[in-house]
A and B are shown apart, each in its own frame.
Chain A
Amino acid sequence: MEKTTAASLRHIIPDSQLNEWEREELIEQLTVYDPRLRQAVLEQIAIIWPVSHSLCFAFIGQLRQGLDCLEEKQLPEWVKGILAAYEAGGLQAARHYMSDVENNFLCRLRGESGLLFAAARGKLAHYVRGISGRGLQIEAAPIVATDTATIFLPREISFYQDNSENFQVYKLLATYQWGFISRDLYCQKHGALSLPGKEAEGDDALERYFRSFGNQALAQDMYHLLQTVRVSGFLQAEFPGLMRDLRPFFALLRVSRPDFQTLSGVNYLFEQARHWLLGYLGDDRTINIDGHLAEILAAARRNEASSADLLAAAADWYRFCSADDQSYAPLPPLLFQGEFRPREAHGARLARRANARQKFIEALAAILPPASAPDSTESEEEEPQPPAANVVEKGATISPLPPAKAGKNEAEFPQTAEPRFICLDDERIALPEELRELAREIEEDLGGLPSFYISSASQKAGGRTSGRIKGPRQDDGQPLQGELLYNEWDFRRQGFRQDWCRLILKKVHPVKGTFVSSTLEKYRGQIMQLKRQFEMMRTQHLFVGRQRDGDDVDLDALIEAHADVRAGMVPSERLFIRLLRDKRDIAALFLVDMSSSTEGWVGTALKESLVLLSEALDSLGDRYAIYGFSGMRRTRSEVYHVKGFDEPYSEEIRGRIAAIAPIDYTRMGPPIRHFTGVLAKVDAKVRLLIILTDGKPEDYDDYKGEYAIEDTRHALIEAKAAGIHPFCITIDREAQDYMGHMLGEINYTFIDDVRKLPLRVPEIYRMLTS
């Protein structure tokens, strides 16, 4: 019997890979199992050995213990788990996984594991976006916290057997963290924290404030707890349903907290307050707090308490406990409360501030008249260094309404505090909606609009005429030779650079591979559904009446004709109804971004969406073409022929779609102009140019920033003028400001989740053309 085992093992592990004595040891370990089981184990060894030899030894070492609770048929599944753990976290993780069969494997098999963040993410992200009204991100992390830009949530929640209840816990955590942001936990609203000393960039006033306490951790925890009390009150008012649903959860949390009766001093007070809060949230009013702490907590619960009030209350509480502040032994915070991270929050705030500054300056520069700055060469240098950011100077102001124009209208509308006008050199400029919002955001942050924001913008605006943007001049500017030359729009001179770009047509050579077939397999169900949906669009039989000839008599027309005869008029000859099949006279050209930024997921999703789209369009019968574009510099703007209008969707085309790959840069102007020309020659009632891209246009040379956006915008306007409907599908994490400007408000859609792209593209097409 040992001999057969040895032979099988030798088959799996050749002599060259294993010492004789190691082999003997292995065989010895295997012979304890009965032959059938041994065979099963050997099969698994064959799987593990090529992955890692040491993992294989570890596996055999742990096998005995594992088999105590595993059945033979569960073995392959378990090995899969081990390999997954190994691939994710190396040998250590795999060992850990093997060591606890019960918790890591069996309970999952029984469906007892908790809800993973990855599973909850989709729904939760929408939820968070909905309640916050902005693009707040969520991410998995070892702690619960927020830096005011992202909410960090645990990787898994397994309080309950039922995952829908676990989801409620996720929801609670996210809602609480959003509550902290909305109630300004980190005192980021201007004026929330009025402390002596100037704020310097990189240094957080809040952190500095807490450093002034003898025991910083205690003061912070006190403040954080008081904020939690306040946010709880806020959430009970705003989200009564959630807080009601989760009462049992609060009770559960309370049971798992240490008993405060066993603690003393400040620790006692702290834990008692936590118990009180949980009891209060779980609708259990049996814990009574009296004395000074009760007053502090009651004050914190008031809705109108501000973060500054709570800082004061925390200081008060701290003084109250200061006698034994050094005996404070922090216990873990409440789960939904999470960690207090002032530094991270400050970092996020600075990033947001810089972002808002840049956006504001760019957006404002776009609407300011360009003539306001002198034409100077010095302006090529960097913008002036911003002074300390929270200094709001006089000079340029933003006012809610023009003070001089206080007329009759004003009395009729409620005056909002929104800044609507900007005063610059006694000139009043009305702010568009987005800018107003940005200005409000900045005012909320800094308490006003720093004047250098406006001066930078006006300089930037002035710079337009002074050729501040470098680049084109570095280019030799030599005329190009060739057939496909296209103009490029230069917004600075409000005119075209003649024959500026050379376009090169290239073929895509089809590749043989599994991409298309695996895509078809992956989306089989959805493709069937898509086809059905698209077929319904096609087979919408349409009877058109009043035709000179047709399948049937048009009764309406006939009656009218009779009536006309009776009335003494010449009757119409159009008396027939015809069944019109090809009513959809649509030609669509898909232009796919093949820039290097699409490498990876985005590129794969783009290709998948092309496959799905082609399948769907094939069943619909609309004419369509697919081209890719990329290139480098104005001399080499390339378009790649994937499918022409007249080519049928064939194996060859599938191969070409699979061959689409990221190449160079995104110069959008020339391909748009080229295909505008191509589409204009196509005989169709509706001509669509659908561009799939993953972000801003950009090339290796000067083609970037405002110049690129303006050129692309102009190219799209040219397309529109030629009677073509351009539409842009943009993949980005969030909607960018430039999109509306560049693409036209209703001529684009953006997709924030690449995974959705393949199914969204056909859907968008359907929406566009029905």
Chain B
Amino acid sequence: MVTHSQKIEEHFIAEKPFYLPQKNELPVALAAYANGLPLLLKGPTGSGKSRFMQFLAWTLKRPLITVSCHDDLSTSDLVGRYLIRGGETFWVDGPMTLAVRHGAICYLDEVVEARKDTTVVIHPLADDRRQLAIEKRGELLTAPKEFMLAVSYNPGYQSVLKDMKQSTRQRFVALELNYPDPGLEEKIVCHEAGIDEQLARSLVRIAAMTRGLKDAGLQEGASTRLLVHAGLLVREGILPRDACHVTITQALTDDDELVGAIDEMISSVL
């Protein structure tokens, strides 16, 4: 049985997360927050969407409640449910209710994965009503102005079953977070993996090469996150080529030819 933490304090972000802005995402997000507008983050996996939310929450000094959506995530997983203990039933708030009650930031990661019935609760929260109806308790919460709803999705997926409806997407302020520019990405990899600039530069070059293969067989190029993983392994003493093979090549594809080609790129650069 799912139990969500009741303590909102745990959701505050204590330390400043490392985040280097790509463009104007921070001022836009702050402006959206000031006006009670919900946020939609678009971008490929590992491009910094979740990290940006952490950074935003830290900047706003609000707790951040993240829900990773999966295809069985239903409304009651978000809103809450009754549990039984010793013959007594008691109500447990779901993450969304918790966020609304405490004026937190509720971040639904990969929202298109969630079941379609979740739109029932997302829609009224995402427009100017800013309301959350808890059907089972007959309660109607109105979100305080500190509350913010944010969702993310990856437009690269081509599944027709995972498309976002117009009625949903037109409620959000959409921010596109793509892979950072090479210079910026280098700094990020350097900092996150704790490796030297030389190696970070090579990793970023490899990533750029794999991104060039996107239309030629790869569904997506190597994300910044993969580069950080590779860097972390290298720092632990794994040989750079091996580290890249296991974190980048094998993560990207199963196709033998592509695996070979990516490995060749890696061995050229490293």
Contacts and interface: CB of A to CB of B under 8 A. Distances in A.
Interface in B231-270: 241, 257-258, 260-262, 264-270
Contact of A769 (B160, B202, B260, B261): B160
A240 B212 CA distance: 20
Interface string B205-216: 100111011011
Interface in A549-605: 559-560, 562-563, 566-567
Contact of B217 (A126, A131, A167, A242): A126
Contacts of A241: 241, 266-270
Nearest to A559: B84
B158 A767 contact: yes
B18 interface: no
Contacts of B23: 413
Interface in A410-429: 412-413
A164 to B, nearest CB: 10
B267 A242 contact: yes
Interface string B145-159: 000000000011011
Contact of A126 (B83, B155, B160, B216): B216
B155 A746 contact: yes
A764 B158 CA distance: 9
Contact of B160 (A124, A127, A562, A688): A688
Given A126-B261, A130-B213, A750-B215, A238 B161 contact: no
B24 interface: yes
Nearest to A746: B158
B197 to A, nearest CB: 14
Interface string A731-764: 0000100000000001101101000100000001
Interface in A227-282: 238-242, 245
Interface string A307-328: 0000000000000000000000
Nearest to B241: A241
Interface residues of B, number: 37
Contacts of B24: 409, 412-413
Nearest to A413: B23
A345 B161 CA distance: 47
A126 B264 CA distance: 10
A769 B209 CA distance: 29
B89 interface: yes
A440 interface: no
Contacts of B81: 560
A519 B266 CA distance: 37
B261 A567 contact: no
A566 B268 CA distance: 70
A134 interface: yes
Contacts of B267: 241-242, 245
Contacts of A351: none
A132 interface: yes
A412 B28 CA distance: 13
A238 B205 CA distance: 9
A133 interface: yes
A264 to B, nearest CB: 39
Contacts of B258: 126
A686 B160 contact: yes
Interface residues of A, number: 46
Contacts of B217: 126, 756
A681 interface: no
Q: Which of B81, B84, B215, B216 has the most CB of A within 10 A?
A: B216
A767 B270 CA distance: 34
A607 interface: no
Nearest to B219: A767
Q: Which of B24, B136, B217 has the most CB of A within 10 A?
A: B217
A167 B241 CA distance: 17
B248 to A, nearest CB: 12
B268 A770 contact: no
A582 to B, nearest CB: 15
A179 to B, nearest CB: 11
B160 A768 contact: yes
A770 to B, nearest CB: 6
Contacts of A409: 24
Contacts of A624: none
Given A123-B257, A130-B209, A130-B210, A240 B269 contact: yes
Contacts of B261: 122-127, 130
Interface string A95-111: 00000000000000000
A351 B109 CA distance: 47
A175 interface: yes
Contacts of A124: 261
A696 interface: no
B264 A123 contact: yes
B270 A240 contact: yes
A86 interface: no
Given A123-B260, A413-B24, A130 B265 contact: yes
Given A131-B268, A241-B269, A746-B155, A686 B161 contact: yes
A486 interface: no
Nearest to A122: B257
Given A129-B212, A559-B84, A563-B84, A769 B264 contact: no
B213 A129 contact: yes
B209 A131 contact: yes
Q: Which of B24, B155, B208, B212 has the most CB of A within 10 A?
A: B212
Q: Which of B136, B268, B269 has the most CB of A within 10 A?
A: B268
A192 B266 CA distance: 32
Contacts of A749: 158
B159 A768 contact: yes
A735 B217 CA distance: 12
A133 B209 contact: yes
A325 to B, nearest CB: 38
Nearest to B84: A559
9 contacts: A129-B213, A130-B209, A130-B265, A412-B24, A413-B23, A559-B82, A562-B89, A725-B160, A769-B160
In the complex, the 5 A-B pairs of residues with the closest C-beta atoms, listed nearest first: A126-B261, A563-B89, A130-B209, A242-B268, A725-B160
Given A123-B260, A412-B24, A756-B217, 4 more contacts: A126-B261, A130-B212, A725-B160, A769-B159
